[in-house]
Amino acid sequence: MRVVHNSPGPSAAKFLYPQQTHGSSNPVWCPVFHWHQPPYDAATRHYYDECAERSYRHHLDVLEAHPGIMVNLNVTGTLLELMERYNPEFIDRIRNGSDRGQIHLTGTADCHAILPLVCNRYGDAAARLHIEKDIERKRALFGTMPKAFRFPEYAVDERTLALVGEYHDIALLSGVTYAAAGLQYGVPYKKGNLVLLCRDDGLSNLLSGMDHYGRNYFTWFRDYGGDPRDAAEEFAQQLLQSPFMLTDLDGEAFFHHALLAGVPHDKAERYLDELYSVVERHGVRTTHLPEFASLRSPVHTDAVIPPTSYYPGGFVIWDGNERHNKLWENIDRVWQLYQGGLRNGTPPEVLNRLERNALRSQASCFTWAVTHDYPSWWTEQPARYAHDSELLLAGERRHAPSPAA
């Protein structure tokens, strides 16, 4: 192994889980990967195509080459729809991984909505719709009922946590939420029906190429001559310092995001394979969330979970300025049209389309895009859903029988 000395590499990351020397030769790593794409249309499908080849196909290839690595996949409904349409072989490969016990599929909000915002605007029924649609989709495609739930963007509050507890056994929270609730980082807790688990924010960000808690691997590869094998070795050394570790990051980080960050192609392509190879060589045991939750007795807590996400500022990324307000007006309109369809006995085929528009319009990507000045397609999409729903209902009214009929 070639070690890069005297370079500001990833060892600068802040390691947030409790570190300790322990007798076990097999520390446990619970890796969670978040796979999500917004509901692209034909004009923007190329964004999906890039991720499909550079991230999802690549990750599935590497997993199949390392059958002893256990992972948790958080795959959203909008991405699964794209896969069904353009890459149905991905659905088969995920199902096969689940069937052979390598992949655990988590629950989530079907269209990646910020559940606390949806609850506050439209009531519990709207959040339940996202949760139930995800369960329905995972059962239909993979024959599985997710036991663990991963909140979109880690956005959670006391109300939505209680709702999730009606459907799932485990809730995955960010370190930011743990700190805000006064919970001890890395400790599993029992709250009501749920076991609460906490990801290591610092190490997750390090792996994902984000620089919140220290220099990341992408910077190391690109600017300081770092090698993927060295980065994987350093990550494994950090895993060896703690008996239990849980990370969660965007699955697109490997290869696709690395290329966008300027990492040379050969290094970006090798990173994930090197990571799994080094972890196996050190005897680190990978596991799924349900097993990870069972390895230690959870501590009972009545702590109130405040409105938090992965971001210390709560939900302002998705609802914090006048541009957000305009976007939410369109999202509100799509929901109102769907509710009108429910009240007026709209035929099922039209109602299904209204429901689909309502759920898709609530995808966090659109409100997030406003914050980050993304191209207009992102910010105009909810208005398009509103227009489509209006046309659907107008067409239905034209074909409705007259009151005297």
3-state helix, strand, coil in the chain (%, to 5): 55, 10, 35
Distance of CA 25 to the CA centre of its chain: 31
- Residue 156: phi and psi, rounded to 5, are -150, 155
Domain extents for the chain? 24-300, 322-398
User: pLDDT tens-digit profile of 79-126?
Assistant: 999 999 999 999 999 999 999 999 999 999 999 999 999 999 999 999
pLDDT of residue 67: 97
User: pLDDT tens-digit profile of 315-356?
Assistant: 988 998 888 998 999 999 999 999 999 999 899 999 999 999
pLDDT of residue 371: 80
Rounded to whole angstroms, how far apart are CA atoms 177 and 315? 12
- Opening angle at CA 93, ends 88 and 96, nearest 5: 130
Q: What tokens does 294 get?
A: 């069972």
pLDDT of residue 206: 84
- Residue 308: phi and psi, rounded to 5, are -145, 170
Give the Cβ contact number of residue 33 at 10 Å: 24
- The CATH number of 24-300 is which of 3.30.70.1290, 3.40.50.2300, 1.10.8.290, 3.20.110.20? 3.20.110.20
C-beta of residue 284 within 8 angstroms of C-beta of residue 27: yes
- pLDDT tens digit at each of 405 positions of the chain: 333 333 444 544 444 445 444 444 689 999 999 999 988 877 788 889 999 999 999 999 999 999 999 999 999 999 999 999 999 999 999 999 999 999 999 999 999 999 999 999 999 999 999 999 999 999 999 999 999 999 999 999 999 999 999 999 999 999 999 999 999 988 999 999 999 999 998 888 888 876 544 457 888 888 878 899 998 998 888 888 889 999 999 999 888 888 888 889 999 999 999 999 999 999 999 999 999 999 999 999 999 999 999 887 789 889 988 889 989 999 999 999 999 999 998 999 999 999 999 999 999 988 888 887 777 777 889 999 999 999 999 986 554 433 332
Distance of CA 196 to the CA centre of its chain: 17
Alpha carbon separation from 100 to 17, 263, 290 (Å, rounded): 30, 33, 16
User: pLDDT tens-digit profile of 185-206?
Assistant: 889 999 999 999 999 988 888 8
pLDDT of residue 14: 43
